[in-house]
Structures are given as C-alpha cells and as structure tokens.
Amino acid sequence: MNLSLYLLTVLIWGTTWIALKFQLGGVAIPVSIVYRFALAALILFAMLLLTRRLQPMGRRGHQICLAQGLCLFCINFICFLSASQWIASGLIAVVFSTATLWNAINARLFFGRQVAPHVLGGGALGLLGLGLLFWPELSHHAASRQTLYGLGLALLGTLCFSAGNMLSSVQQAAGLKPMTTNAWGMAYGAGMLAIACLVGGIPFEMEWSARYVGSLLYLAVPGSVIAFTAYLTLVGRMGPERAAYCTVLFPLVALNVSAAVEGYQWTPTALLGLVAVMAGNVLVFRKPKAARGPEVPRPA
C-alpha cells in the first residue's frame, strides 16, 4: 500500500508541471491557485459528505488546519512561483528537494524522533544527484541580488512545506485523517489567498479555453485531491523524513516527460545524477539491521 501511494504521488507531481505551464496566460497566478484549491476543497467535502467520512474537529483541529492551509496550500506556492521570476526551475527543484533533510530535522526538534543516518545520507545523495541533473541550468546562474531573492523565497517555500508536513503529523496523531484535514486546509488556504488577492487589487478573471480548464481540473483533482492525500498519508505512515523523498524523485519524472515531449537530451552528467538520485532512494528506504542482543555463552 505504501509503495502504491509513493509511486502515485511521484508520478502525479512529476507531471503537474505541464498543467502549470498551461495555467500561464490571462489569469493571474495567485487567482489560479485560489481556483485550484477551492475546487479541490469542494470535491473533497462532497466526497466526504456523500460517504459520511467527514470527521468532526474541535477548535484546536481547525486552528491547525488553518496553519496547515497557510503553509501548505498558500504561502509555499506563492514563494515558489515568485522565485521562478529570478531563478531557474532546476534550481528551485534542488532547493525544494532539501525538504527531506528539513523534515528529518523538524521531526527531531518537534517530535523527538531519532534522525536515522541512512535517511540523512540518502537525502544528501539525492540532493547531489539533482544538482548534477540540473547542472546546465545551475552553472549559468551568476551571483546577484535577484538570485539571492529567488533562493530565499524557494527556501521559505520549502520550510513552509516542511511545516505543513509536521502539522499533518500532529493531526494524524490525534486521529484525524488527511482527507478531512486537507479539505479544511485547502478551503482555509484558498480563502486566505483570495482575501490577499482582493486586498492587492488582483482581478478574478476566468479563461474558458479547453487548455486552461483542463489543466485546472488536472491540478485540482489528481494534483491536489489525490496527490496531497496520498502524500500526507505517507507522512503519517512512514514519517515525514522518508515521505519527503518524493520531492527528489518527481523532478526526475518531469525530466523524463520532458525528454519525451520537449526533446530533453540526457547528458553523461545528468545520467550520473540519475544514478545518485536512485541510490539515495535505495538508501532512504533501506531497513536498518535489527540490533543484536548480547551473546549468551554456551555451557562447556
């Protein structure tokens, strides 16, 4: 079950970049994000109400959902989309992949979980692999104030993503399932972002082309309802540090799709990066050897 959820998350998030490209146009990016998560929240609430699986939540649960919506479905998307104005998407992918390390550190700080050395080592190896994969983009980046702004925003978005993972862990520990908390979190995130758009004077326009509507539906249903539910379920089952290795693997899927659709050419450096990413994946999910007890001496 965990493997199915893991592969599902990686494959869906690895292809959402195509839909995100189709979203660029007449509708402002923050408004498109509002449409995406508002629609996803409506779908989740409808599913939960029809199946009678919407769990009741107390005041504390709603407060955590509010914080989760702010971190996971609002600020981090704004940060990454704003960062893309100053730095290349490859660099953003490398920064975002550090979520594996941040989740391990935060799980240690907030939940007292032991940081497994093989998880940290695998995350670092995956990060190195992504650096090699995107080396052509990274090598052309000159040190400038704009680059630092972009890196800072990408890092802030990654930290918000990690914080959202921790909040989901708290909710699941309290017995609340990701579908319920995601429904409320997406609704809160879309609502807060909509208020920010109104205050900022961003118009709520709509593009009714098949390209825009189709990409919006893909981002809302597979990209949000399915992938976020699958991913946060993994956070509860496997721990946030291991589940976050998805952030290393889905850029790899995106590159393979790009090779088929846009003619991306694999280079020896990129292939070496591919090997490093896959080796990191094996290391992260390696089961530690069971600790051996003291040997009992046999009687002579």
Q: What is the pLDDT along the chain (300 residues), one digit of tens a residue?
A: 788 898 999 999 888 877 887 887 789 989 999 999 999 999 999 999 999 999 999 999 999 999 999 999 999 988 988 887 787 776 777 788 888 888 888 888 888 777 777 777 888 888 888 788 777 766 665 667 777 788 889 889 999 999 999 999 999 999 999 999 999 999 999 999 999 999 999 999 999 999 999 999 999 999 999 999 999 999 999 888 888 888 878 787 877 777 776 666 778 887 888 888 888 877 777 765 544 444 333 333
Threshold 0.75, pTM exceeds: yes
83 vs 225: CA distance, rounded Å: 25
Count of other CB atoms within 10 angstroms of residue 116: 16
Tokens in use for 171? 């909710």
Tell me, what DSSP letter sits at residue 264? Answer: P
Question: Which ranges of the chain would DSSP assign to H, the alpha helix?
Answer: 2-23, 29-50, 59-70, 76-83, 89-96, 99-111, 117-133, 135-139, 145-173, 178-200, 210-220, 227-238, 240-243, 246-261, 268-284
Exposed (0-12), middle (13-18) or buried (19+): which is 264, by Cβ within 10 Å?
Answer: middle
Count of other CB atoms within 10 angstroms of residue 298: 5
User: Residue 20: phi, psi to the nearest 5?
Assistant: -65, -35
| 26, 202 Cβ separation under 8 angstroms | no
